[in-house]
Amino acid sequence: MDYRKVYEKWLTDPSFSEEIRQELKALEGDEAEIQDRFYRQLSFGTGGLRGLLGAGTNRMNVYTVRQATQGLANYILSMGGAAKGVAIAYDSRRMSPEFAQEAALCLNANGIQTYVFESLRPTPELSFAVRHLGCMAGIVITASHNPREYNGYKVYWEDGAQILPPHDKRIMEEVGKISDYSQVKTMEKEEAKEKGLYHVIGAEVDDLYMEQMKKQIIHPEIIQEMAGDIRVVYTPLHGSGNLPVRRALRELGFTQAFVVPEQEKPDSAFPTVAYPNPEDENAWKLALHLAKEKDADLVLATDPDADRLGAYVKDKKSGEYKSLTGNMSGALLAEYILRERARLGAMPESPAIVETIVTTDMAKAIAKEYGAALTEVLTGFKYIGEQIRLFEENQTCQFLFGMEESYGCLAGTYARDKDACVAAMMLCEVAAYYKKQGKTLWDAMLELYEKYGFYKEGLATVTLKGIDGARQIQARMERLRKEPPKTLGGYKTLAVRDYQADARTDMQTGAVTPTGLPASNVLYYELEDNAWCCVRPSGTEPKIKYYFGVKGKSLADAGEKLERLKGDMLGCA
């Protein structure tokens, strides 16, 4: 693509708005910025679009959203799905309502029914709505936990999970065929409504979603007894979790829930956080301040589309608030669900937990303890959603819980994506359960370490932007493929899994066997003594990600081992 020619076309083509053209005129002289905006078409990846907001082919704007939607529309029409329609939700980010409407009107212009939420909703509610309404697909306008300058466009299929093969590839092919914005259809909203194509949804779906969420509760009697004693501080980080999380806690009887006032209302500028991500410790300043003021047992935060949950819990001995990683909160929930179901005789036949390959190995030990199957999938909750469908279709296992290290989990099968709302609700239940025993969630976490071992995990990311950054990321992956490290952090490398080649190579014997998972640009190193590390490019940001896991004799020992492993891996990368 000759980026200069495309830039000039956008400057002069009347198809583009005057506002867009003025934005681009202001860039004249900044060749690097022009190149970055036009050197490629914003990639429609396996989940959809995500990118910086702004004018240009490599940006999120009305035109790239319409282009993606036209490709999706063409595929839905080829599948005979026009009457089943598409459910559409959006979060609090800049341009999210506008992009949601543009997507709906493009679909309507192609004769496809749409069901658009009346206001912002969590991503997992969209997953629920797709199946509840019997839609062919779903769209969520969100950039999830990315910085405020981003927005995105995620596509779901009729099973309620994000698109997977073969649908993702075929939709990408259809999007790729839209070579000119004149090929994109749209229509006026009033006309779409008159033709019975544009439908607004809201409270009815909210009520059913909430009803299904609350069915995941195991001990309502303990909540009733202890809810008034559990003090919870919650922040939606200016996103879509505020109403559903507070409603769930209120309806269950938690009366001591306090919302961070400065972060309660949706705000696309995210004025109190540079990075609205519960994984980022800087996002917790206001919540932890309020927690100390209220003497909270539990501090919760959801990201803008409310599919990720972060937590801090109080340590009675030190009086400090301890951070729970996604691995830790997931392990607490998995243990609670399996243990209490087993104790009550409520365990289904062939129970199963699903986790991603970069999630804590403690989950394997927990599953084994209670006789549950554990399935590993590639990084991305869509693969966990896929397993729910496969379990049902093949009548093999009963899905109970799914978790990934990046602060995402799901209890039950009402949705097919991670749900921070149900995670918040259930973590409050677990807190009530342990408080009845005179324990905190931190006490419970320490008990898990004593029971299963001191598992500790870490993540390091390296950001490499632009064309050169993409090349550097690719070069790093190629180098690691050609020269796999024989030792890492003092651990011998036992095997290397190259998911792109579908090959697991035993470093001792040289034997090669299939990984058994779909092709993906991921390298995984099995190390001695239950240690491991994994590397992959991010699918949504210009980053390369390094994951690490160890098992120590104590928390301190595990921490030291993890730091050695991390330093060695980053050094050889």
Please write the tens of the pLDDT for every residue from 170-227. 999 999 899 888 889 999 999 999 999 999 999 999 999 999 999 999 999 999 999 9
Q: What is the pLDDT of residues 291-336, one digit of tens each?
A: 999 999 999 999 999 999 999 999 999 999 999 999 999 999 999 9
Instruction: Specify the pLDDT at position 571.
Output: 81
Instruction: Specify the pLDDT at position 44.
Output: 79
Q: What is the pLDDT of residues 418-429, one digit of tens each?
A: 999 999 999 999
Measured between alpha carbons, how far is 451 from 31 in angstroms, rounded to an integer?
59
Measured between alpha carbons, how far is 115 from 126 in angstroms, rounded to an integer?
10
* 96: Cα separation from own chain's centroid: 17
17 carries an active-site annotation = no
Q: What is the pLDDT of residues 448-494, one digit of tens each?
A: 999 999 999 999 998 888 778 888 888 899 999 999 999 999 999 99
Q: What is the pLDDT of residues 39-53, one digit of tens each?
A: 988 887 767 899 999
User: Please, what are the domains in the chain?
Assistant: 1-30 (no CATH), 40-201 (3.40.120.10), 454-572 (3.30.310.50)
Instruction: Specify the pLDDT at position 556.
Output: 96
User: Which one of the listed residues 92, 96, 144, 329 is annotated catalytic?
Assistant: 144
What amino acid occupies position 357?
I
Measured between alpha carbons, how far is 64 from 109 in angstroms, rounded to an integer?
17
- pLDDT confidence tier of residue 22, bands split at 50, 70 and 90: very high
- pLDDT confidence tier of residue 165, bands split at 50, 70 and 90: confident
DSSP, collapsed to helix, strand or coil, labels residue 195 as coil
- pLDDT confidence tier of residue 133, bands split at 50, 70 and 90: very high
Residue 285 CB neighbour total at 10 angstroms? 12
Residue 170 tokens read as 């075929």
Please enumerate in sequence order all residues whose Cβ is within 8 A of that of 391, keeping only pairs 6 or more positions apart, or say none. 352, 397, 398, 399
How does the average pLDDT of the chain come out, rounded?
Answer: 95
Residue 247 CB neighbour total at 10 angstroms? 17
Instruction: Specify the pLDDT at position 539.
Output: 72
Instruction: Specify the pLDDT at position 549.
Output: 97
Tell me the CB-side half-sphere exposure of residue 517, using CA atoms within 13 A: 23
Instruction: Specify the pLDDT at position 87.
Output: 98
Instruction: Specify the pLDDT at position 292.
Output: 97
Beta bridge partners of 364: none
